[in-house]
Structure formats: C-alpha cells, structure tokens
Structure 1
Amino acid sequence: MNNIQVFSTRTGRLVVCAVRNFSSSTSRQQEKHYKLLVVGGGTGGCTAASKFASKLGKGKVAILEPSKVHYYQPMWTFVGGGTKTVSNSSRPMGKVLPKKADWIQAGAVAFDPKNSTVTCSNGDVIKYDYMVVSMGLQLDYHKVKGLPEALLSDPAVCSNYSSKYVTKTFPALENITDGKAIFTSPNCPIKCAGAAQKIMYIAEEYFNKNGKRDNIDVIFNTSGQAIFGVPKYAETLNKIIEDRNIQLNCRLSLEEVRSDTREAIFRKLDSETNEKETFNYNFLHVVPPMSAPDVLKASPLADSMGYLDINKYSLQHARYPNVFGIGDCTNAPTSKTGAAIAAQSGVLRRNLTAFMDGKSASQDEYDGYTSCPLVTGYGKCVMAEFDYDGNPLETFPIDQSKERRTMFHMKRDIMPEMYWNLLIKGMWEGPGPYRRLMRLGMGGNKKSEVAEV
C-alpha cells in the first residue's frame, strides 16, 4: 500500500509523491542478526548447524538453504544400479535441519565479509558474528557442449550425479544390447570421485549376469593420470579392470556430446595441438564438470579458483577470521566426500568454539582424512581411506585394498543409517577412535575424533 505525501520545493512548488509503506515485519526480517550463520543445508551445513544450535541455544543459529529436499547422494550409485530408488535417498529438508536453528529458505546472492553480512535471494540481509560456509559444488552440465540436450532427449545418456538424471541410468543399462558403454570423469575436482567408476563396475557385472557382456565394450575415459590417485588402491583396481576386460583411457576429457549421431568427443589433455578423439556410444554415463557455486566464486571469500579460501588444517578462512568452511566448497586439498566432512566437523567444532571464546582457532588440525568406498559390483567393495598425502589411513585391522563383501554391506546398509542418525545430527566425527582401538593405538589421527553428543 502507498501513502500520498506532499513536499514543498525550494521554488515553493508543491510536489505530490507516492511513498511505499514497508511492513514492520519486513524491516525486522532485514535486520536479523545471528550469533552463527550456516550457509548451506547439505551434509556439512546440517552437521555444523546441529553441533552449534544445541551449544548456543534456540534462535542463535540460522541455516540459509533454499532446497526443500535433503539427499543422501552416495546412495545414487545404487539407484543407478537398480537396487535403490531416489525416494530411498531423500528426506524433507525441514525434518533433517536442527529444530533449535532458524531455517531461512533462501539462497545467498552476495557475501560482504567486511561487514559480516549475507544478502539472501528473498531480499533479506543477515548479519552474523560467525559464519560457516558449506555450499557444496554446482554441477556444470552446460560446460559440455550438447550434454544438457542429450540428457533430455537421448535415453542412452545418463548421470548418477543428479536427482534429475540418475533414474535414467538403470533403464539405459537394460536397453543396451551391444556396442560401447562409456563412463567418464572430468578434468576438475568433483564430489565423490570414486562414483565415476563405481557405476561402471556395477554395469559390467549387470551385463555379465544378463548374458550380453561379450557384445559390449566397457570403456572408462578419465581425465586423470591413473585409475585412482592412491597407489595401494590403484593396484587393486588395475587388476580388477584387467581381469574384467575394461578399457582404461587416461587424460581424456569430455568436450561434446552429439546425441543425433551418438558420438562423444573427448579432448586429449596431453596433446599440445588440442587433439580430440571421437567415440561412438550405445550407453554414456557422464560425470559433469563441477565448480564452486557462482555466488561464492564472485565473492571476496573465494580463492583464485573460486573455492572458499581456508587454512586446510584449521578450516578458518585465510582472510576473514570469523568465517569457517566445511565440505566440498572449500579449497582443502582432499577428496570431497561425506567421510571428509565427518572428520572436518570435529576440527570445526573445536576450533570455532575456541575462537568464539577468544582463543586461537588452531586448537585442532584436520589431516585430510577421507574415505572412498569403491563399490566394484553388486556385492563387493574396496574401502579406501587416506589422508592429505595419499597415505592409507585405514580403520579396520585388515587389508582394505581387497574386495570384500563386509565392506559392501558397510557401504550399502550401515553408512546410510550412520548418515541420517549420527552425522547430520552432529554426533559422528569420523572413525578415528575406532581406528586406534582396532589397531591397538597404532596409527590414525590423534585429534579430531571424539564426537560431542
């Protein structure tokens, strides 16, 4: 509603103006101030908010998250393999966020860390004393020419990395009878890097079980220099792909998909002349390029590559000390997994708490621990665990580089329960204490390992 107001100018003329009334509730929304603002309601955001909402009390913590649904994305490998559904992997966002925190159902559109404010997509400006940024990664399907169109129109093109496209994967596996089944991995950091090849092993076993493997070439075109970055696990995986006659092509990056002719064009990354190679496909599983969210890239919080610029040990921002980061959007040089977030969450809890208490935010150090359960079929898994330097950091007193059914059940049956009931509720900070117990105190982290319940 507008009010009509009359103003007198210096010349004595009267000017009639319509002035919009803003409700007092809108003003109050724009003036909201929180002790802690958590940007992002994914794995890292839920975990951090749960820890501090219980610590700081009701109304002191806000979560900025536009999505209505929270997904347990590691389950999408099994959705693509035909043994789980997307609904198995989802919960309403309002059910997983901590009750003592305020949920602001909007996204961030601008960061002003000098003034400790965030502008939201609903127009609100949120003031914070401390902030945790956990925005995850964005999927850049559009960076591969023709890929968005192929995902919409070609039933042979699929991707387990999106709830929109993961349901295409198993029907595409059912439909292929011969030709080339191609699996890709892009030339950039991605979430759960092992998922690019997990679906390949499941698909190869599916082809075998259904009597069509002899007619299908299974091909893994990866931008990496090897099947896996940690030599201990790469040795096992190389033997698997050799025994199962899977073709590995390294240093190839998908540039274009021509769905009308079913051609996938890859750039040879080591070619000085920008040479390309074309593959015909009958099945194509694409892992899209990924990057930090655009709003983060454009902010003062980003490093030169667009990721949240943090100290990789303390998780505190490199330039703005009241800002911390957790999860995939940061530039911590480790594999981007839920296991990494679990280990980071303990470091974040201790260091941010110390900083709130006027102490140094270097009470604890994150060593880069992460885990990649490499599912190699419908009943086998290699449980890779390692640190920043690629050193194995295994929890169980066995050789985890071997394919094991026990590790498969850990991945499929136990980890989802741990996720929903412990991790995002702030009660799981990684397997460090159990590692020391099982290995009689030898090896593993000495910090970052005791969950605050």
Structure 2
Amino acid sequence: MRSATLWSFDEGARGRPLREILSTARAAGYDLSGVVGRIAAVSRSRKASADLFHTVVVIGGGAGGIAVAASLKARKPDLDIALIEPADVHYYQPGWTMVGGGIFSPAVTARTMASLIPTGVCWIKDAVAAFEPDRNTVILEGHQTVRYDRLVVAPGLTLDWAGVAGLTETLGRNGVTSNYRYDLAPDTWELVQTLRAGRALFTQPPMPIKCAGAPQKAMYLSADHWLRQGRLKDIDVELYTVSPALFGVEDYVPALMTYVNRYDARLNFRHTLTRIDGPAKRAWFSRQTETGICETIETDFDMIHVVPPQQAPDFIRASPLADVAGWIAVDPASLRHARFPAIYALGDAIGASNAKTAAAARKQAPVVAHNLLVEMGHLRGAEVAYDGYGSCPLTVERGKILLAEFGYGGTLMPSFPAWLIDGTKLSRVAWLLKERMLPPLYWKAMLKGREWMAKPQRAERTA
C-alpha cells in the first residue's frame, strides 16, 4: 500500500490524470481514495515539494516525539524545531487497558495533535517515506525533502494485525477484541460485561511489544469483574503467551501468581496465536515444547482478547537507520544512533533492551534533549545516560496494582520508598497513581517539558 501510494504521487507529479491513477490502482487491488487530495496537490505543482530546513527535526507525534520536542524547547526556547506527524489525534495509549476494564471512557485518552505540539514547533503534517542520513535529509510521502542539522526519530511501532491469519476479518466481532486499539478497547468492556459463561482467552505475541504486561492486565481486570459478579465459576480463563514465564522480571512473579490462583486462570506458556476463525469461535496456536518440537494446538473460545505481533514501521525497517532486527540502532545509554552521530532516537522503535512503555519514553526524552544540545554546543556539561528504566503498573484487580519498575537487565528501580509503594507487593496507592495521577502527569508534565521525577543524570549503569 505504501508503494502504491508513492507511485500515485509520482504519477501525479508527471501529470497523469487523477481518474486514471485511481482506476489503475484499483485494478491492482489498491484503494487510493483516501489520498486523492494529496495526489492532486502534487499534481498541481511539483514546485510545492521544494526543500525545507529546520535545525532539529523530530519524527513522530506520539509520546516520545512530543515529549522530546517539549524538553528541547524547555532547555532552548529559541531552537528551530519541526515535528513530522501525519495524524490529527494523539492517544494516551496506557489508558486503553483501563477503558477495557470499564474504568476510563475512551474520550479521556484522546486529544488533538494540534493542541499538544509545543508552541514554536513547526508541525509538518506528512508521513516519512525514506531517510538519506548521509545528506541529513528526510523524504516525505508528499515528495518534499526536509533537511536538518540534527534528527530525532520517535515513530513508535506498528501493530501487525495481519500477522495472525483471519484476525483482521473478525476484529470487533464474534467475541474477538483487543485493548491495543482505541475503537476496540470499549468492545472489551462490553464483552466482559455480557459474558456469563464459557471460555475467555487472552494472548501475548512474541516480544518485543509495547507494554508487555498489558495482555495479562486485560485478563486480571476481566476476571476481577467476573469474580465480583459471581460469574467466574462458570468462566474458564486462560492466558496463552509465547513467553516461558509469566513476567520477565522474576521479583514480580510471586504476587502475580497470587492472582492467577485467585482467578483460577490457566497459564499456557510457549504458545503463539497463528490463526483465528471468528464465526466458528476457534483459535490455533503453535506450541514449542521444551525439547524444541513445534506442534499446533486448536481450541475454542467465547471471548478472546488478542494482542497482535509488533514491529518497527516499514520505513524504519527498510532504512539505513535499522539494525539487523529492523529496530533503530542506538547506543542504549546516550540514545545516539550507532552509525550516524547527527541522529538520536527514543521510544518503542529503538533497538535497546528496555521495556517499551510510555514511562520509558518519559525518561528517554530528557536524555535525548540534553545530549543533543550538549553535542551541538548549546548546553555545558557532560553527556547523560538512559538507564533502561521502564514501568508497568500491573492492574491485578480494580483498586490494586503491582507497580513494576525496572531497568536494563531487570534491575529493580523503584521511584518511591517501600513504605509508600513496594513494587513487589499489591498497592492501593499505586492504583491511585495509575488512575488519578499518571494521566495528568502525562498530559501536563511529560508532554509539556516538565520533567517531574525524570530529570536526566549521569548514570554508572550503561548496559
């Protein structure tokens, strides 16, 4: 689809009639009606594609992109920054688990992009097609090229819904849902409320994924509701995960197992969802035995919460910025690109071993802002290091959370004294943090360059 879109822009620039472009694409199986305006704009004038230049260019209007633009502006208000982002809406994605649990309404997790981009930052409303790092240039899908002195890349990752056969055809229907999409999280809560008996499955794909705890968060909140309503005895709850353990940091497993046992949930390790038949209510998993043998497991369901496979966006994976696995190659401490010193990166698309969470981006943004400005000569001082911090508030029931905070290598990194919040134990205070404090911290601090509990420091640990 991306190739067809770029082809249409090129044909439009050559003067080919719009109707002919659309019909040719349709005959090849591509509907380009959604980009008619952009094809027409390119057709009107190729001169509209003249080069742009900004001192710092930020790619991505998600948590990482806006946060780093705000952190840069907070340190140097007169810095010339452009932010490239095609979307009109910005989402607070950590809130979607709470939507799926009936705690948040969807509307509180969405705001217009225009209202969040920092004052003084130029918004280039387009998508990136390619990079030319040797020329300090980004090429946009609309044919424009944007040159820069420094580039910050924070595009997030891509959810590969088509990576599970049959999933796209049944999402939002036949008891199939996912908290990983804004329009589907309310369906999760609807299914949870209406399910009276049967089998409820929750899946987790191969790592890395954004918020690795989210698949089981959905399971816990659903089971908690069924328990409170007296229905859990009639519902079989199962987690199917490709992982060999419940959680990647062992210190948190005992408390989580308390709730697995409380909900009588069955754990199926080393299982990967490969196919789903919504109308038939059947799902297929590939299972790897401890001896390395792969086998196919078929099962039925009444409700299934699916988390799709995830990867870096295509324009990253096919670029010179990518490592062998397709992620942005960065130094895990400085977050500078491993091969191109004028480029920095943060967020879910980087090839570091940290957890891919908004909390990680909150700590990464100040590190990138500081190091970039030091390297450019706008700030004095030593380079700072990101220590791999990530946080996963595991919502084990309505009103209680296990606040997992850890860095590179699974090192525990609590933000609060143990008497207030002990991350290895259940906490009502952590629930209040998740429900009432983190959303305003996100909107009013992180995205505004106010680095509460996130100011960068020189770190000894640079794993």
Indicate the TM-score class for this superposition, using the shorter chain for normalisation. Answer: 0.7 to 0.9
- 1:258-337 aligned at under 5 Å gives the runs 258-270=277-289, 272-337=292-357
Identity across matched positions, percent: 35
Gaps of 5+ in 2: 1-12, 14-40
CA positional deviation for 1:260: 2.3
CA positional deviation for 1:396: 1.7
Distance 1:123 1:68 in 2: 20
Distance 2:127 2:382 in 1: 30
CA positional deviation for 1:359: 9.4
Distance 1:23 1:256 in 2: 42
Matched, 1:347 2:367: yes
Name which of structure 1's ranges 293-302 and 112-121 shifts more when overlaid on structure 2: 112-121
Match of residue 238, structure 2, among 203, 219, 222: 219
**Larger CA Rg, structure 1 vs 2:** 1
Distance 2:380 2:133 in 1: 20
Match of residue 205, structure 2, among 186, 193, 201: 186
Tell me the residue number matched to 1:200.
219
In structure 2, the residue corresponding to 1:314 is in which secondary structure?
coil
Matched, 1:51 2:68: no
Tell me the residue number matched to 1:61.
81
Task: Specify whether residues 359 and 25 from structure 1 end up closer, same or farther in structure 2 by C-alpha distance, changes over 3 A only.
Answer: farther
Which has a greater percent of helix? 2
Name which of structure 1's ranges 47-56 and 311-320 shifts more when overlaid on structure 2: 47-56
Pairwise CA RMSD: 2.4
Tell me the residue number matched to 2:428.
405
Distance 1:337 1:243 in 2: 27
Q: Say whether the 8 Å CA contact 2:154–2:349 is kept in structure 1.
A: yes
Tell me the residue number matched to 2:36.
none
CA positional deviation for 1:358: 8.7
Tell me the residue number matched to 1:17.
none
Match of residue 338, structure 1, among 330, 353, 358: 358
Tell me the residue number matched to 1:148.
168
Q: What per-residue deviation string (whole Å, max 9, x for no partner) do you get for residues 219-256 of structure 1?
A: 11111111111111112112221233111111111001
CA positional deviation for 1:338: 1.1
Q: What per-residue deviation string (whole Å, max 9, x for no partner) do you get for residues 103-151 of structure 1?
A: 0111101111111111112221100110000000111010000011110
Task: Specify whether residues 236 and 432 from structure 1 end up closer, same or farther in structure 2 by C-alpha distance, changes over 3 A only.
Answer: farther
The one-letter code sitting in structure 1 at the alignment partner of 2:314 is: D
CA positional deviation for 1:56: 4.6
Tell me the residue number matched to 2:263.
244
Tell me the residue number matched to 2:21.
none
Q: Say whether the 8 Å CA contact 1:191–1:336 is kept in structure 2.
A: yes
Distance 2:217 2:159 in 1: 19
Distance 1:214 1:23 in 2: 63
Query: TM-score, normalization: structure 2?
Result: 0.85
Q: What per-residue deviation string (whole Å, max 9, x for no partner) do you get for residues 350-407 of structure 1?
A: 2111111199997111111111111111110001111101111112221221111110
Tell me the residue number matched to 2:272.
253
Q: What per-residue deviation string (whole Å, max 9, x for no partner) do you get for residues 293-325 of structure 1?
A: 001000000001111100001100000000000
Task: Specify whether residues 361 and 117 from structure 1 end up closer, same or farther in structure 2 by C-alpha distance, changes over 3 A only.
Answer: farther
Distance 1:66 1:344 in 2: 23
The one-letter code sitting in structure 2 at the alignment partner of 1:332 is: A
Query: TM-score, normalization: structure 1?
Result: 0.87
The one-letter code sitting in structure 2 at the alignment partner of 1:268 is: R
Distance 2:429 2:77 in 1: 40
Tell me the residue number matched to 2:411.
391
Q: Say whether the 8 Å CA contact 1:344–1:429 is kept in structure 2.
A: no
Gaps of 5+ in 1: 3-20, 434-444, 449-453
Q: Say whether the 8 Å CA contact 2:271–2:286 is kept in structure 1.
A: yes
Task: Specify whether residues 121 and 22 from structure 1 end up closer, same or farther in structure 2 by C-alpha distance, changes over 3 A only.
Answer: closer
